[in-house]
């Protein structure tokens, strides 16, 4: 295939590059910003797509952020490619602060308590929920009884507060990114259109001079 990678990456390299891309997160951020600004669409539609992606980063549906962002962008009549780029607002450097803020807000809105430290107890709840899913899946094919206690605890103390609490900060972050993106994208597109127009005029002048020289 024409676009197949020459150097096939191992699964370890894929995981490591997701956690820390080649060239660092700063380079990845500038690359995504450059790609978004060059999208052939109106600044408002691109910015709505960015809003959808940023908002989705505050949801607990890890692994489905691209799909959810694209659906939200579709509903909002936003640019779907920009929504995918907007999900990079959530990355290994921001997941912890996003999670802490969302959990705090969620527990506050539900009138429950949140442990201030992101410590072993929170990690244990994630692993406990995963173990319940794995063990109970195996129970379908054995005589073992299914036990959903840890998954239920995870849903009540982590997932549901995260889902509820991520709405407000997600909307705030999305709106901020929207209003920051519109003028930046508009200015970039105007400048780029001016450069293209200037280049076309230069090509026309060059063609006209060449034609005049040939006639002369």
Does the pLDDT value for residue 168 go beyond 60? yes
Q: Minimum mean pLDDT among 58-62, 82-86, 197-201, 205-209: which range?
A: 205-209
**Of 92, 86, 90, which is closest to residue 102 (Cα–Cα)?**
90
> How many angstroms separate the CA atoms of 164 and 146, rounded?
28
Residue 131 has a pLDDT of: 67
Alpha-carbon torsion angle 91, 173, 36, 197, nearest 10: -150
> How many angstroms separate the CA atoms of 38 and 40, rounded?
6
Does the pLDDT value for residue 118 go beyond 70? no
Residue 44 has a pLDDT of: 92
Radius of gyration of the chain (CA): 24
Residue 128 has a pLDDT of: 65
**Of 119, 147, 124, which is closest to residue 135 (Cα–Cα)?**
147
Q: What angle do CA 95, 101, 104 make, to 5 degrees?
A: 130
Q: What band does 13 get if pLDDT is binned at 50, 70 and 90?
A: low
Residue 96 has a pLDDT of: 84
Q: State the helix-helix crossing angle for 43-56 and 167-215, rounded to 10 degrees.
A: 150
Token readout for 205 is: 């002048």
**Of 92, 86, 84, 82, which is closest to residue 41 (Cα–Cα)?**
82
Q: Minimum mean pLDDT among 36-40, 84-88, 179-183: which range?
A: 36-40
Q: What band does 70 get if pLDDT is binned at 50, 70 and 90?
A: very high
Tell me the domain boundaries of the chain. 19-181
Tell me the per-residue pLDDT of 15-55, one tens digit each, with 9 for 90 and over. Answer: 445 445 555 555 555 656 666 666 778 889 999 999 999 99
> How many angstroms separate the CA atoms of 163 and 86, rounded?
19
């Amino acid at each position: 295939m024409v676009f197949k990678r020459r150097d096939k990456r191992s699964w370890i390299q894929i995981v490591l590059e997701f956690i820390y891309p080649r060239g660092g997160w700063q380079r990845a951020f500038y690359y995504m910003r450059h790609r978004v600004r060059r999208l052939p669409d109106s600044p408002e539609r691109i910015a709505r797509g960015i809003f959808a992606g940023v908002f989705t980063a505050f949801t607990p549906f890890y692994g489905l952020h691209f799909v959810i962002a694209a659906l939200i962008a579709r509903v909002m009549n936003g640019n779907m490619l920009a929504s995918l780029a907007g999900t990079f607002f959530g990355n290994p450097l921001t997941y912890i602060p996003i999670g802490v803020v969302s959990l705090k807000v969620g527990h506050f809105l539900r009138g429950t308590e949140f442990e201030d430290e992101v410590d072993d107890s929170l990690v244990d709840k994630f692993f406990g929920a995963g173990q319940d899913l794995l063990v109970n899946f195996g129970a379908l094919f054995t005589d073992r009884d299914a036990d959903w206690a840890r998954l239920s605890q995870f849903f009540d103390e982590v997932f549901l507060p995260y889902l509820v609490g991520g709405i407000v900060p997600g909307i705030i972050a999305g709106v901020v990114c929207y209003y920051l993106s519109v003028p930046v994208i508009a200015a970039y597109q105007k400048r780029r259109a001016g450069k293209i127009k200037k280049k076309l005029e230069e090509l026309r002048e060059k063609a006209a001079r060449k034609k005049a020289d040939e006639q002369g």
